[in-house]
Chain A
Amino acid sequence: MTDMSTTYMGFILNSPIIPGASPLVNNLDVVRRLEDAGAPMLIMHSIFEEQLIKEQVSLNWAMEHADYSNFEASTFLPRPEEFRLGPEEYLRHIWKVKSAVSVPVIASLNGYSAGGWVSYARMIQEAGADGLELNIYDMPIDGQRTAARLEEDSLDIIRAVRNAVTIPLAVKLSPFYTSPVNFARRVAQCDVNAVVLFNRFYQADIDIEELAPMPSLQLSTSDDLLLRIRWTAAMYGHIKSDIAITGGVHTAADAIKGIMAGAGALQMVSALLKQGPRHLTMVHKKMTEWMEQHEYQSLSELQGVMSLARMPRPELHERTNYIHILQNWSRD
């Protein structure tokens, strides 16, 4: 019997394939089906502080912008005593998901202000989340801000959150760092349990007829995996935290590659959105079969075998890979 267990964020999981942060957890029925399909852990969708603030300001504006505009109508909308405008709804949902399943539930936080990161992290811990994934989603579009500054700002946030909560902490990184391995090392030094590679930024398309940006949500494909594999392979053994891959994990082969590169866990979203929770069972099954066929007794045996430190011809993952492909590329 192949041992598919892994350790991630301090939890022993009986499978490395985790449903990643997505709207799937909004529906408790789906949550239960995910557990039934073998999800060893659930990661909730992110709480976006920026969005909460926008909601507060917008709702307040909508409630009062027309107040007392004429004699007959002092207001135009009811004035309920209570609104759930802060993270309450999210926190309540943590509790609901926790009540629905027995696997660990990891909350996800995308902060905006310095205060927001810490206060929301505390609230999430108090709400009973088993762990927290910080989603560092910082678009470096400000030309005045140096790479060093940007990295320091992120590390400040991570340290602050780490000091604020005791639950296991993962940090989801963007691929756009000048020195990703170095940055991941520094993140890991903040007593972070895991780094998650990588965030997929939403990228608006352009409508060339309307001359307007066009919101687009592209689900990942297995092609997206390569970037993650490369950097996982580079980091494995060099950072003290666990590594999880998110983005591009669709098939058993994808999952095996991820583990081989050094990931301790794999987050799956697009494939589940497309195929439903049962896809999780299938991937797990095929992965197990492959490992049996290839006589891997356990996941730990497989983990990191294709990291840069252990793989044959690591240069193919380095600069030579690029040169080699360019030299062999031709129109024919």
Chain B
Amino acid sequence: MTIRLNQKSITIDGNEAAASVAFRTSELAAIYPITPSSNMGELADDWATRHRTNIWGGIPTVVEMQSEGGAIGAVHGGLSAGAICTTFTASQGLLLMIPNMYKIAGELTSFVMHVAARSLATHGLSIFGDHSDIMACRQTGFAILGGTSVQEAHDLAAISTACTLRSRIPFVHFFDGFRTSHELNRVQMLADEDLRGIVRQEWVDAHRNRALTPDKPVLRGTAQNPDTFFQAREACNTFYNQLSAIIPEEMKRFAELTGRSYQAYEYAGDPRADRVVVAMGSGAQTAAETVRYLAERGAKVGCVLVRLYRPFVVDQFVAALPASTKRIAVLDRTKEPGAVGEPLNQDVVAALHEAAQSFDLPMGNMPEVIGGRYGLSSKEFTPAMVKAVLDELAKEHPLRRFTVGINDDVTHLSLAVDNDFDIESPKVVKAMFFGLGADGTVGANKNSIKIIGDETTLHAQGYFVYDSKKSGAMTISHLRFGPEPIKAPYLIRRANFIACHQFEFLEKMDILEAAENGGVFLINAPLAPEDVWGALPVEIQRTIIERHLKLYAIDAGKVARQAGMGGRINTVMQTCFFAISGVLERPEAIAAIKHSIEKTYAKRGEEVVKRNFQAVDKSLENLHAIRVPQTATSQLHQTGFADERMDDFTRRVQSVMMAGKGDLLPVSAFPVDGTWPTGTTRWEKRNIAAEIPVWEPEVCIQCNKCAFVCPHAAIRAKVYEAAQASNAPESFLGVPYKAPDMRGLTYTLQVAPEDCTGCGLCVQVCPAKDRTNPKHKAINLMPQRERRDQERLNYDFFLNIPEVDRSRITRLDAKSSQFLLPLFEYSGACAGCGETPYIKLLSQLFGDRLIIANATGCSSIYGGNLPTTPYTKNRDGRGPAWSNSLFEDNAEFGLGIRLGVLEHMNHARRLLTELGGLLGSQLVDQLLDSPQSTEQQIAEQRQRVKALRQALATIPGNPSVVLAQLADYLVHKSIWIVGGDGWAYDIDYGGLDHVLSLPFDINVLVLDTEVYSNTGGQSSKSTPLAAAAKYASAGKGTAKKDLGLMAMSYRHAYVASVAFGANDNQTVKAFSEAASFHGPSLIIAYSHCIAHGYDLRMGADQQKRAVESGVWPLYRYDPRLVDQGKAPLQLDATVLRGSALDYMQNETRFAMVEKMDSDRFHLLADQAVRNTLQRVALYRELARIVLPQDTAPSPDAAASLDASSASPAIKTGFDGRTNNDGAVKA
């Protein structure tokens, strides 16, 4: 045996482990982002940009496509041309590839795709890991091979590559999303030389020789007929038969080369086991470790790790089972409702039956097989759960179908678990860190793992858990360090070291739940050391005393500021961890941190290194051991999330989820279909802002700009009768309203102190300055803590003052729009988010009649990520109804909603006509014909509907009942399709284009951040020239697609380009016009984003720069103007100030390209400046064009044309349009 002993060992995550092999053994990677696999594509793009080579000396071509469907199409083409190709995907992305997977397999094409296995969206979306995606393509003809660990993600990627090239059968190589893809662990890396040994050149040559080429012309993709298709389909059988032998042979050869041995079906445990668990993925590692632990203690238990799922090789699987096997529990990490059993279970049963028919089973009798589900959507799967399964197998009558890891109190399938059961070695140091998203905690912990894993003999493992928010999320880092390899793909349950990096967490969270007796507890406390103990809630004090914890504290924020690190506490807290955890000796640890700082930051400049060094030194000076008294005396108590004002469901279910205890909720707690109540973010009160805006009424000019830009609806304006504030709290402020339209009312600007994120956008846009001290504005940021109680009272009082009657707002503009109740509030969006002000405005303008179809992405995550929902209701119980279908179908989904609503409306109108005699012609005529253009008219229509319902109550018969059910549809509904640029420009552009081509009254809002923000800033076709983005890390070399211009080319669609920071009134105008336009409308909204790389406090200023430089034109294209003899395109920003370069130099996404490659940047930037000027010139010309009135068919005319041609799409009997007053045309 030739074992290479010089293999390099580094600490990386599963994505990098797989991508490293994929990149080096490919010539072409076609990629598309999807969580949790996006990082593999990012790495491939990054490595290609850095000119890293594959094992044949070439730099692989990495190309981002418009969807996963596009990626696999490009791969299929590349393979047909004889290139060695790869791609990376997960979940719904894998499903989009399925059609082409049949083709690739059918053509016997060598290819490996790497999948970070993830749940499929069903009753809800989940980004987390299970096997439902890979199971959904088990029928495609691909081999499916998956590992149990980070090391296996690396090794099986290589083995898959060898096998596919040798066998010609394409492979899905998978590993568990997040649990493996994002776990950091030490990996023995395969060198290029190893890979060249594993992947034989003759196979590569053979693959190339099968290329389509005119030099040896052949034809593929024929259409075959009943006479031949069947036989031809069977012709591939021998290749699959051979594969079952090839895989073990290549695994053996791999072992000879590397010393790491794998089997397609590998047994662990007692060789005489009678109870055996079968599992695949990371859960199999947990099962294997557990059975080893139990077997060492005398239990007759075992585990078969299934690595090869397709083809399922019967004899090899059966051979892996001990002859003593009597009972088997098959664990599936997927759910197949209605099936006899889950897929792996079915395969095991079928395999045993098949074996029994073919040869004598080693165990004599057919073992009894039961099957269970575990770990859906990364639900924890622990040794205790494995033991529960083994215990179930030991019962006389085990459940034939079960679940483990949840409490199923409805169908009673779940197994009881003894959570005290633990198999972890006492030699392992287990540390948990509670941090705030983006405070640097996770980054520092990753760094610590690398320091220990790469530079000491210790093994290290890290896994990171976040809550559902984008801003102010709580992060929990789980770190293990030990002398042996760490095989524990589950969270820490007992920790020797706990650090709380945010003092506020102690108020609500059970931070010390996992603290082990005698452990260390480190707190970042903004207090003097002598004040720390007294500031702890009594519950925390008690736990510290009872568990004999050693308590340390540091004011990390202060130390970080002193070191010139702003408020970033990562280096400070990392130093403290090393200083007191005892994982390494202190001097050795500090030297290692400094070495690591140099390694990480040297490329970002000496100054950055210097400041980090200062932070290390000052941390040690400011870290204090806190004396723990013998009794807990604090008067402070932890406050939970439950509130007596909550409704039953919110209190019983959502407050538990808010407290991070959702795992404890039983099945019965949940809606059966994923339907969820709205309006629950208001219960969270996250208190994440260190500073909040404080209003100075004397300085304020009551412009409401602050409220307009607030991404979280946390600063609000209201006008009301003075008497309504007669019992206001003493500190509640109100002043006479200054504008003439509602003279006599009182005006209040109020902050929601516990919901504000402290982004500072409001203060930045405030135009009112104190004339004697211009530093002071009408709102100023002040510390939150000391104002929290007072402002909480004020805000509660403010909320109870009724909003001004909407019909009193006669002139709708940016200012007046802020007197309308926001029905989108306190979302989990990033602090300073540039998208949410648009959604909030949408909810203010049309919220009580709004339906949103939301594409997957940031807006669906902050819009609908549990535990709470930001869309809410008004006092009448009305508010936005919202749904997310998929990423790739949102335009079509929204159109379907439009058509469904239209059908209900037409149905109601027909019934109204039918029942007209009984209802009275005046009411019926008014209901049918009254305009609904203004708030007043809508209010009147609602009154008429109310009267209709009263009248219907007295009319017997089915039509009356049905009309009562549909009556609300007589009030116009505003249907909006919302999504980001990745959705609109790329993955669903075809759908969007089609929807815009139709005449239906539908509105589209594109929140354009110019990247795939949600998955981490990958380039889209909206990404501007010269901007660095993931998948375009050298700076995008092509210009942004002009979506608006493309939509205008239909000429019957309303199109607007808006940027609230530059012109908020134009934004409001565009929203109103789009809503009133009775055809398709498209609004493209500039949305600043953290992926642009600057302080989002300046977001509105930067929007202004974008507009003034011509980079982002403001316009409205209104087809209605054609009939008025006017140019349909109106430019709303006509004067250029500054150049595109001025705008670009303020954002890191551009600036970093200059810092990477100045020549390239200037080339691209010059082109960007030229493009901008050319586009401005083009739009100026277009804005001068007055179209002849008969050349641009109105939506009405367009629909008539469609109707007359009886297009199948709209042949269903309704005409699909409303007239200018909102009523349906007869």
Q: Is A212 an interface residue (CB 8 A)?
A: yes
Q: Is A36 an interface residue (CB 8 A)?
A: no
Q: Flag if B50 contacts A81 (CB, 8 Å).
A: yes
Looking at the assembled complex, report how far the CB atom of A137 sits from the nearest CB atom of chain B, in whole angstroms.
19
Q: Known contacts A63-B1093, A71-B35; is A81 also within 8 Å of B127 by CB?
A: no
Which listed residue (B438, B771, B774, B1094) contacts A67, Cβ 8 A?
Answer: B438
Which listed residue (B1014, B1148, B1156) contacts A82, Cβ 8 A?
Answer: B1156
Sorting the interface of chain A by its residue count into under 10, 10 to 19, 20 to 34 or 35 or more gives: 35 or more
Q: Flag if A68 contacts B443 (CB, 8 Å).
A: yes
Interface positions, chain A 76-112, Cβ under 8 Å from B, are 76-86, 89, 92
Q: Flag if B568 contacts A65 (CB, 8 Å).
A: yes
User: Nearest B residue to A115 by beta-carbon distance?
Assistant: B606
Tell me the complex Cα distance, A78–B830, Å. 19
List residues of chain B with CB within 8 A of the CB of A74: 39, 442, 1016
Q: Flag if A57 contacts B607 (CB, 8 Å).
A: yes
Tell me the complex Cα distance, A225–B304, Å. 90
Q: Flag if A70 contacts B1028 (CB, 8 Å).
A: no
List residues of chain B with CB within 8 A of the CB of A78: 42, 45-46, 49, 1028-1030, 1032-1033, 1152
Tell me the complex Cα distance, A74–B1028, Å. 16
List residues of chain B with CB within 8 A of the CB of A84: 1155-1156, 1158
Q: Known contacts A61-B566, A67-B438, A76-B1016; is A56 also within 8 Å of B607 by CB?
A: yes
Which listed residue (A56, A57, A77, A86) contacts B1148, Cβ 8 A?
Answer: A77
Looking at the assembled complex, report how far the CB atom of A306 sits from the nearest CB atom of chain B, in whole angstroms.
44
List residues of chain A with CB within 8 A of the CB of B440: 64, 67-68
Q: Flag if B470 contacts A70 (CB, 8 Å).
A: yes
Tell me the complex Cα distance, A165–B471, Å. 50
Q: Is A52 an interface residue (CB 8 A)?
A: yes
Q: Is A60 an interface residue (CB 8 A)?
A: yes
Tell me the complex Cα distance, A57–B568, Å. 12
List residues of chain A with CB within 8 A of the CB of B1016: 72-76
Which listed residue (A52, A80, A89) contacts B1152, Cβ 8 A?
Answer: A80
Q: Known contacts A56-B608, A60-B604, A69-B473; is A77 also within 8 Å of B1152 by CB?
A: yes
List residues of chain B with CB within 8 A of the CB of A77: 1017, 1028-1030, 1091, 1093, 1148-1149, 1152
**How many residues on B have C-beta within 8 angstroms of the other chain's C-beta atoms?**
64
Q: Is A53 an interface residue (CB 8 A)?
A: yes
Q: Flag if B568 contacts A68 (CB, 8 Å).
A: no
Tell me the complex Cα distance, A69–B570, Å. 13
Tell me the complex Cα distance, A212–B1032, Å. 39
List residues of chain B with CB within 8 A of the CB of A67: 438, 440, 442-443
Tell me the complex Cα distance, A81–B603, Å. 7
Q: Flag if A69 contacts B438 (CB, 8 Å).
A: yes
Looking at the assembled complex, report how far the CB atom of A31 sits from the nearest CB atom of chain B, in whole angstroms.
15
Q: Flag if A56 contacts B605 (CB, 8 Å).
A: yes
Q: Is A273 an interface residue (CB 8 A)?
A: no
User: Nearest B residue to A71 by beta-carbon distance?
Assistant: B466
List residues of chain A with CB within 8 A of the CB of B774: 211-212
Q: Flag if A63 contacts B1148 (CB, 8 Å).
A: yes
User: Nearest B residue to A27 by beta-carbon distance?
Assistant: B1162
Tell me the complex Cα distance, A220–B855, Å. 56
User: Nearest B residue to A213 by beta-carbon distance?
Assistant: B774
Tell me the complex Cα distance, A72–B126, Å. 11
Looking at the assembled complex, report how far the CB atom of A143 sits from the nearest CB atom of chain B, in whole angstroms.
20
Looking at the assembled complex, report how far the CB atom of B3 sits from the nearest CB atom of chain A, in whole angstroms.
32
Q: Flag if B601 contacts A60 (CB, 8 Å).
A: yes
List residues of chain B with CB within 8 A of the CB of A83: 603-605, 1152, 1155-1156
Q: Flag if A57 contacts B466 (CB, 8 Å).
A: no
List residues of chain B with CB within 8 A of the CB of A219: none
List residues of chain A with CB within 8 A of the CB of B1091: 66, 76-77
Q: Is B469 an interface residue (CB 8 A)?
A: yes
Q: Is B1151 an interface residue (CB 8 A)?
A: yes
Q: Is B1112 an interface residue (CB 8 A)?
A: no
Looking at the assembled complex, report how far the CB atom of A118 sits from the nearest CB atom of chain B, in whole angstroms.
13
Tell me the complex Cα distance, A18–B393, Å. 92
Q: Is B1040 an interface residue (CB 8 A)?
A: no
Tell me the complex Cα distance, A19–B1156, Å. 30
Per-residue CB contact flags for chain B residues 1093-1113 toward chain A (1 = under 8 Å, else 0) read 110000000000000000000
Q: Is A62 an interface residue (CB 8 A)?
A: yes
List residues of chain B with CB within 8 A of the CB of A75: 1016-1017
Q: Is B983 an interface residue (CB 8 A)?
A: no
Q: Flag if A79 contacts B46 (CB, 8 Å).
A: yes
Q: Is B1015 an interface residue (CB 8 A)?
A: yes
Tell me the complex Cα distance, A64–B466, Å. 17
Interface pairs A-B: 10 shortest CB-CB: A56-B605, A78-B1033, A73-B1016, A68-B442, A62-B1148, A211-B774, A69-B438, A69-B437, A62-B1093, A76-B1091
Given contacts A65-B438, A74-B39, 19 further A-B contacts (CB under 8 A): A53-B605, A56-B607, A57-B564, A59-B604, A59-B1148, A60-B608, A61-B566, A61-B568, A66-B1091, A67-B442, A68-B446, A69-B470, A70-B469, A72-B127, A72-B861, A77-B1152, A78-B1029, A82-B1156, A83-B603
Listed by A's residue number, 9 A-B pairs whose Cβ atoms lie within 8 Å are A53-B607, A59-B1152, A67-B440, A68-B446, A71-B36, A72-B35, A74-B39, A76-B1093, A78-B42
